[in-house]
Amino acid sequence: MRALIDMTDAQVDALDTLAKRERRSRAALIRAAIDGYLARHRHTQVEDGFGLWGKRKVDGLAYQEKVRGEW
């Protein structure tokens, strides 16, 4: 997929310098930067839900049994 982004002249110049030094294309550097950003900001559902029950006064298993008993 192609994407159109706006960059400053300084960003383009810095990317071109880095691309020449690493012998990689500007696009490859941008893809690597996006991959790194996504990896740093990726959360699993387990991480998002960890500790949600901790502030409740009811035992989790007892609550689960109570709710299932209502079925």
Q: What is the mean pLDDT of the chain?
A: 88
pLDDT digit string (tens) for 59-71?
878 888 888 988 8
List the domain boundaries for the chain.
Answer: 8-48
Residue range 13-40: mean pLDDT, rounded: 95
Name which residue leads in pLDDT, 43 or 63.
Answer: 63
Q: What is the model's pLDDT at position 51?
A: 73
Residue 56's alpha-carbon distances to 28, 50, 52, 64, 69, in angstroms, are: 48, 13, 8, 13, 20
Count Cβ atoms below 10 Å from residue 9 Cβ, excluding itself.
7
